[in-house]
Amino acid sequence: MKRGNLKWKLLAVLAALIAAGVYYYVALPAVNIHSKGFWGFLIGIVVVFLIVYSLRKKTTDVRELKSYLGFKIGAGIIGLLLVFLIVGTVLSSPIVNAKKYYNLVEQEERNFTEDIPQISFDQIPILDRDSAIILGERKMGSIVDMVSQFEVSDLYSQINYQEVPVRVSPLVYASTIKWFTNQSEGIPAYMQIDMATQETELVMLDQPIRYSESELFNRNIYRHLRFRYPTYMFDQISFEINDDGVPYWVCPVQKFNIGLFGGQTIGRVVLCNAQTGETEDYAIEDCPQWVDRAYPADLLLELYNYHGTLVNGFLNSVFGQKGCLKTTDGYNYIAMDDDVWVYTGVTSVNSDQSNVGFILMNQRTMETRYYAISGAEERSAMASAEGQVQNLRYTAAFPLLLNVANEPTYVMALKDGAGLVKKYAMVNVQQYQTVATGDTLSDCQEEYVRLLETSGISDDTDVAAETETVTGTITRIAQSVIDGNSHFYLVLDGDDRIYDVSITDFVEIVTYQEGDRITMEYQEGDPLCTVTAIGEEQVS
């Protein structure tokens, strides 16, 4: 009997270990006391042991099982684990740690016009993720030899690539069967979309991507990371490319600053080469400059909401709500200082349809900048822009807040029913009834500046100060079509700048050729200067 009992105990332990191994391989829990999933994993192991133990005793009657020592021990372990989990959760919560949660974010109040200079239209990431997905699918559909085997992942991470705002997303296997037929060769390309020009490119790789979310078994990126870093708790991973175009998985590692489960930030970043699987582990402060998305946007907004709502303690955040602020419903990204910043408005918790300011939060460093600019909430501005084109039934994308003519301005794309960008709108933040629309950003800006002048928001002096005059001989002239409109690009003798002339605004540009002298007024940009006026033609 003793040998029989030992056999069943060994069988129970073996069953628990096998179940634990299968669960670990599939669910990939972190072996870390800060992970609630790890505590659930331990409880599950004990539960499997008790199930096998009850089978040995041939009973499911809990009252009878309570008389056995093995059941008592197993039930006691489960009880202790549950108590530890519950107490740890309470002691880590904002209820008892309001001040610590409030201090997770340190915001700095900044000046809007100093921090956010007027930028060239070719640097405005006006294309949102939904439109990027449509463009990516259309591009993929045009590549006949690949579309039957691969699809584009819906990640579409927004990054700065060589100082250009782009969205990148890897290809994925079209199905499990397609994985079996293609996994030996790997994934051959990724999709890249310029957020300003909408140029879409399928970037073919010399060496394929072999570690991704669509891989099965050990080449799955999550399993690959777990086996290399069993104790790390990874947050949302993102797909990025470095300055040489090499694809990487950027894998932020969670750090808990309050108790066992509270005050999550990012403590480390693991970079995994998507082609080779090689990994590099960095402290967050040592993260390479080319990395743009160490902090997920949702986490940054959650941290700021703690800062805004817990300013006067937990009870005030629930009842009186004196001085409580929160982020608005929605966010967007701004490329600045070779980093990607999350932008969103800040409003009172009473949701009064107006903002008291807005914030920028750096996705690599968590640096938080606050701008005290009161005005319309983003959804109100979007509705105002849609009202200007209600006959076309266009919908507005979530806006960017930019500096236009030294005025804080919501800039947004207007999309048709198919999700494609058809027009652009600019809405003044403080007077959101001032709305301009245009087929191009240049046209939209001209109309917006005119409205600022006529409404008295901005005067001619301010606008004139933004333009300069140049006279020179044309050494090179080229033509291109953007958004259905022809543009001429001019280079002058002894001048490294490129001047962008819209034929819609200045049809006389077709009479100019290389060797002619020309006088132009322009707005400075990088790399393109936008021409706002053309003087008398002077032929050499």
Q: What is the pLDDT of residues 440-452, one digit of tens each?
A: 888 898 899 889 8
Indicate the DSSP class of residue 199: -
Q: What's the pLDDT score for residue 68?
A: 64
Provide the pLDDT confidence category of residue 436 given band limits of 50, 70 and 90: very high
pLDDT tens for residues 333-366? 888 878 899 999 999 887 567 888 999 999 999 9
On the CB side of 210, how many CA atoms lie within 13 Å of its CA?
13
Bridge-based pairing state of the strands 435-438 and 485-492:
unpaired
| 430 occurs within a structural domain | yes
Taking residues 271-296, report their average pLDDT. 95
Same structural domain for residues 84 and 210?
Answer: no
**Cis omega (within 30 of 0) for bond into 296:** no
The interaxial angle of helices 94-102 and 69-91, nearest 10 deg, is 40
Same structural domain for residues 251 and 163?
Answer: yes
Same structural domain for residues 320 and 368?
Answer: yes
Distance CA 152, CA 170 (A): 6
Strands (E), 80-163: 107-109, 150-152, 157-161
Q: What's the pLDDT score for residue 460?
A: 44
Q: What's the pLDDT score for residue 351?
A: 59
pLDDT tens for residues 43-97? 888 887 777 766 666 655 556 556 566 667 778 888 889 998 899 889 999 999 9
Same structural domain for residues 188 and 227?
Answer: yes
Element (H, E) at 101: helix 94-102
pLDDT tens for residues 137-164? 989 888 877 888 999 999 999 998 888 8
Same structural domain for residues 66 and 128?
Answer: no
**Range(s) of the domain holding residue 278:** 124-294
The least confident of 27-31, 376-380, 457-461 is: 457-461
Give burial (CB, 10 Å; 0-12/13-18/19+) of 283. Answer: exposed
| 105 occurs within a structural domain | no
Taking residues 284-298, report their average pLDDT. 94
Same structural domain for residues 508 and 484?
Answer: yes
Last residue of a domain, one of 257, 276, 294: 294
Same structural domain for residues 214 and 313?
Answer: no
Q: What's the pLDDT score for residue 92?
A: 92
62 contacts: CB under 8 Å, gap ≥ 6: none
| 101 occurs within a structural domain | no
Distance CA 57, CA 470 (A): 95
Same structural domain for residues 169 and 256?
Answer: yes
| 107 occurs within a structural domain | no
What are the Cα distances from residue 272, in Å, to 227, 240, 241, 244, 250? 13, 10, 11, 15, 7
Taking a C-beta distance cutoff of 8 angstroms, is the pair 209, 220 a contact? Answer: no
Q: What's the pLDDT score for residue 50?
A: 76
Looking at the structure of the chain, the number of domains it has is: 5
| 365 occurs within a structural domain | yes
Provide the pLDDT confidence category of residue 3 given band limits of 50, 70 and 90: low
Within its chain, how far is the Cα of 329 from the centroid? 15
Q: What's the pLDDT score for residue 462?
A: 44
pLDDT higher than 70, residue 374: yes
Same structural domain for residues 409 and 439?
Answer: yes
Taking a C-beta distance cutoff of 8 angstroms, is the pair 322, 278 a contact? Answer: no
pLDDT higher than 90, residue 414: yes
Q: What's the pLDDT score for residue 508?
A: 85
| 540 occurs within a structural domain | no
Taking a C-beta distance cutoff of 8 angstroms, is the pair 70, 64 a contact? Answer: no
Distance CA 234, CA 221 (A): 12
More confident residue, 258 or 479: 258
Last residue of a domain, one of 354, 373, 392: 373
Buried b (16+ CB within 10 A) or exposed e, 251-280: bbbbebebbbbbbbbbbbbbbbbbbebebe
Taking residues 246-271, report their average pLDDT. 95
Distance CA 277, CA 229 (A): 13
- Give percent of the chain above pLDDT 70: 90
| 404 occurs within a structural domain | yes
Same structural domain for residues 142 and 268?
Answer: yes
- Averaged pLDDT score across all residues of the chain: 86
Same structural domain for residues 149 and 196?
Answer: yes
| 390 occurs within a structural domain | yes
Distance CA 482, CA 491 (A): 19
- Give percent of the chain above pLDDT 90: 48
Same structural domain for residues 155 and 12?
Answer: no
| Structure tokens belonging to residue 377 | 């909430």
Last residue of a domain, one of 294, 310, 340: 294
Taking residues 462-476, report their average pLDDT. 76
What CATH number does residue 502 fall under? 2.40.50.360
Taking a C-beta distance cutoff of 8 angstroms, is the pair 199, 136 a contact? Answer: no
